């Protein structure tokens, strides 16, 4: 007698005695158990012979209860499934009090489920999202491994605060109430665990560059942090980032890599997560029906994923994009919240979505941005005012990838750091890369949760990570 998962059983065509464990999703007519074990979004129907089953057992078959079932796999009489189990024995492994169990067999609000995040993967929506998240992770590792990249774990605790990507969390083992002080009355971090002030990293890019300049092609996939008090549906204090970095690759190569990578991981989930994606596609469609027509998205979820895999990403310079936007209807009719007036403007999500969804009707890669709205490490173009940066824009979500060719010239990099008051002593090792065997190199960053939102159709970033960290919230 073998033990199966629901996923394997639903594919069985060989009828026989089976044994399976899982949780009761519903129990109706004192007869039909919908059993789920997390291996798939689908339940297997288990038909209880209630006339020959102890009434005390029947009472304990409640939503959320863990059960062990033995029975015969038979062709299903009902609709929607090909097989079911005619139960010959059922054992209650763990009860679930129907009165108090938070996950009732009805629709719960996402807010309620966030408060019960330890149980929310017992619902169809969240189990689908988290299986999809796992599949996307694997697709990412597989893509890079198949393409000769090495995975690198960049440090989480960093002694450098020169990255400049945002507010940082302090990491300390000092007495929080009475920290040791220097003669000048400042906190004396020399006495802290690491002998210096340390923070949680905002990016692994600079360290990834050190490995690209020796191993050639590397990528990071790890947690990053922002201590910004942004209480929105798009921000987390703790989120996961993917950052590939490649030696001898210029901005054009970077665009090729990013396009191929994004298409590859999305193709992977289209091929490997059909049931979960179909469920999420239907879920989003039904949710959108409740919205006014104008706010609904024009594409269903799976359509949007195919829009990415089936279109060439249109490559457009920032300068060209500004021209298009300045002359666009919503800009002239002042329908944009932020009107584009001149070159140098930072683009907002509304502009990015206009370019993708209305103008080009394809994913877009913008490149050659004004230097002063981008980071210090980006390669300055010969025009002296733009840098070799690129952003990839997707439908519904706007910017999903940001990358650049890195400034490989020591003198230019030093000038840019000086202009921004970034001390050379802080980044001596980063400068060394330009002193010894420097070369053109490039990379990009992808916020993993933005990708999961895009692929799942979930609209709040708190619903695509197991235990979200946001202002005032570090529960579980």
CB of 295 to a second copy, least distance (A): 31
Least distance between a second copy and beta carbon 163 (Å) = 12
In angstroms, give the least distance from the CB of 358 to a second copy. Answer: 35
Minimum gap (Å) between residue 305 Cβ and a second copy: 20
**Least separation in angstroms between CB 342 and a second copy:** 36
Closer Cβ to a second copy, 146 or 295, answer by number: 146
Are 421 and 408 a contacting pair, CB within 8 Å? Answer: no
Question: Which residues are CB-contacts of 400 (< 8 A; sequence separation ≥ 6)?
Answer: 262, 392, 393, 394, 446, 447, 450, 451, 454
CB of 169 or CB of 336, closer to a second copy: 169
Distance CA 191, CA 179 (A): 9
Give the Cα separation of 249 and 233 in Å (integer). Answer: 35
Measured from the CB of residue 169, what is the shortest distance to a second copy in angstroms? 5
Distances (CA, A) of 5 to 17, 18, 37, 129: 14, 10, 7, 19
Nearest to 449 by CA among 438, 441, 458: 458
Whichever of 354 and 454 has its CB closer to a second copy, that residue is 454
Distance of closest approach, residue 247 Cβ to a second copy, in angstroms? 7
For a second copy, which is the closer residue by CB, 224 or 328? 224
How many angstroms separate the CA atoms of 276 and 266, rounded?
Answer: 14
CB nearer to a second copy: pick between 166 and 344:
166
C-alpha to C-alpha distance for 171 and 167, rounded to whole angstroms: 13
Between 86 and 98, whose beta carbon lies closer to a second copy? 98
Angle between helices 410-419 and 428-435 (to 10 degrees): 150
How many angstroms from the chain centroid is the CA of residue 405?
Answer: 24
What SS3 class is residue 122? helix
Nearer to a second copy, 150 or 343 (CB): 150
Quick one: CA dihedral 86, 91, 97, 99, positive or negative? positive
């Amino acid at each position: 007698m073998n033990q199966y998962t629901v996923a394997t059983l639903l594919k069985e065509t060989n009828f026989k005695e089976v044994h399976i464990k899982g949780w009761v999703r519903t129990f109706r007519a004192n007869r039909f158990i919908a059993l789920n074990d997390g291996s798939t979004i689908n339940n297997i129907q288990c038909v209880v012979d209630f006339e020959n089953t102890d009434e005390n057992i029947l009472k304990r078959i409640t939503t959320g209860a863990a059960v062990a079932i033995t029975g015969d796999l038979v062709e299903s009489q009902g609709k929607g499934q090909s097989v079911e189990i005619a139960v010959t024995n059922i054992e209650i492994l763990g009860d679930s009090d129907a009165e108090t169990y938070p996950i009732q067999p009805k629709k719960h609000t996402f807010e309620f489920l966030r408060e019960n995040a330890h149980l929310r993967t017992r619902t169809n929506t969240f189990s689908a999202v988290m299986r999809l998240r796992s599949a996307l992770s694997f697709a990412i590792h597989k893509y890079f491994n198949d393409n000769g990249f090495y995975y690198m774990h960049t440090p989480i605790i960093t002694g450098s605060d020169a990255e400049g990507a945002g507010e940082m969390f302090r990491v300390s083992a000092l007495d929080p109430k009475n920290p040791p002080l220097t003669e000048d009355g400042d906190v004396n971090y020399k006495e802290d665990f690491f002998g210096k002030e340390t923070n949680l990293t905002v990016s692994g890019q600079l360290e990834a560059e050190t490995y690209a300049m020796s191993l050639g092609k590397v990528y990071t996939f790890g947690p990053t942090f922002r201590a910004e008090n942004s209480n929105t549906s798009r921000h987390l204090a703790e989120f996961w980032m993917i950052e590939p970095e490649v030696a001898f690759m210029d901005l054009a190569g970077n665009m090729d890599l990013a396009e191929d990578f994004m298409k590859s991981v999305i193709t992977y989930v289209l091929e490997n997560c059909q049931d979960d994606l179909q469920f999420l596609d239907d879920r989003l469609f039904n949710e959108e029906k409740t919205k006014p027509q104008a706010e609904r998205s024009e594409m269903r979820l799976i359509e949007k994923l195919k829009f990415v895999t089936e279109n060439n990403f249109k490559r457009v310079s920032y300068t060209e994009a500004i021209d298009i936007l300045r002359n666009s209807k919503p800009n002239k009719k002042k329908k944009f919240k932020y009107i584009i007036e001149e070159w140098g403007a930072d683009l907002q999500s509304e502009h990015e979505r206009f370019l993708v969804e209305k103008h080009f009707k394809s994913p877009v890669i913008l490149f050659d941005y004004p230097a002063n709205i981008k980071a210090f490490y980006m390669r300055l173009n010969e025009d002296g005012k733009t840098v070799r940066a690129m952003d990839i824009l997707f439908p519904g979500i706007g910017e999903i990838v940001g990358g650049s060719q890195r400034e490989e010239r020591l003198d230019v990099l030093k000038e840019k750091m000086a202009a921004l008051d970034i001390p050379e002593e802080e980044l001596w090792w980063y400068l060394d890369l330009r002193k010894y065997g420097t070369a053109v190199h490039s990379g990009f960053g992808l916020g993993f949760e933005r990708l999961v939102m895009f692929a799942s159709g979930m609209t709040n970033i708190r619903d695509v990570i197991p235990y979200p960290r946001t202002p005032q919230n570090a529960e579980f």
